[in-house]
Amino acid sequence: MDGRTLTPAWLESWARGVSGALTVMTDEFEHRHGFPPGTNQVRPADHGDQAAAHALAQLDHASADLVTFYVSVADLTWADVGSGYFIHPVPDVLLCLHEYGAVPLGAGQDVGGLVFGSNGGGQSYVTGPGGVVHRTRTASLDEPQLDRVADDLRHFLQLLEQSLTRFLADGEPGRL
């Protein structure tokens, strides 16, 4: 293992840490912002979610890390961190693949990527079999332009955690 690969133990530790921070955020949210918080959670995978993750593993488009993520975590909803961050459940990932097809990842990439998340600004997060995470520049998936935002899913999750930490400190999540 190269130290960057996602493992269930690393994901459990990460989820526990960000869940604690989300609890702190939601407990003080209404006082700080003047309205009640929305949904802010990392939802653990149940048996149905894990079965969907194993089905996802059969696709050429999914990285091993994405499958590992979905075996442990069903989805992520951080509605109140900046404009919001979302990692979609596997059925939504598969529906997007069915409706829009795989997202072209650029020259030299034989297999396209999967939209697995989004932010409240309408941009989508895409990853392919190589594991690099990209963000669309616009809300459109028709001929999307992509920017690389993370080397792999673990790096992406670390960046999400940094956004949450920064949001707790100063109300600004940065630009992920």
User: What is the tens place of the pLDDT at every residue in 132-141?
Assistant: 999 999 888 8
Residue 58 has pLDDT above 60, yes or no: yes
Looking at the predicted structure, is the pLDDT value of residue 144 above 90?
A: no
Question: The CATH number of the domain where 70 resides is what?
Answer: 3.40.1580.10
For residue 146, being part of any structural domain is answered with yes
3 falls within a domain: no
Tokens of 62: 């999914």
Mean per-residue pLDDT, 98-123:
88
Say which residue, 54 or 111, is predicted with more confidence: 54
By residue range, what is the domain housing residue 111?
Answer: 8-170
For residue 20, give the 3-state DSSP assignment.
helix
Whether the predicted pLDDT of 106 surpasses 90: no
pLDDT tens digit sequence for 85-96: 999 999 999 999
Instruction: Please tell me the predicted confidence (pLDDT) of residue 108.
Output: 67
End-to-end CA distance of the chain: 27
Checking if the pLDDT of 109 tops 80, the result is: no
Residue 40 in this model has a pLDDT that exceeds 80: yes
pLDDT of residue 174: 80
Query: Within a domain: residue 120?
Result: yes
Residue 41 resides in a domain? yes
Backbone angles phi, psi at 125, to 5 degrees: -105, 135
**Is residue 118 within 8 Å of residue 108, measured between CB atoms?**
no
Where b means 16+ CB within 10 Å and e means fewer, 137-166 reads eeeeeeebebeebbebbbbbbebbeebbee
Partnered with residue 113 across adjacent β-strands are 103
Q: Residue 3's pLDDT is what?
A: 57
Instruction: Assign 1 a pLDDT band (cuts: 50, 70, 90).
Output: very low
Look at residue 13 and tell me if it is in a domain: yes
Number of neighbouring beta carbons within 10 Å of residue 55: 15
Answer whether residue 86 is part of any domain: yes
Residue 176 lies inside a defined structural domain of this protein: no
Domain count for the chain, please give it: 1
102 within some domain: yes
Interatomic CA distance for residues 170 and 172, integer angstroms: 6
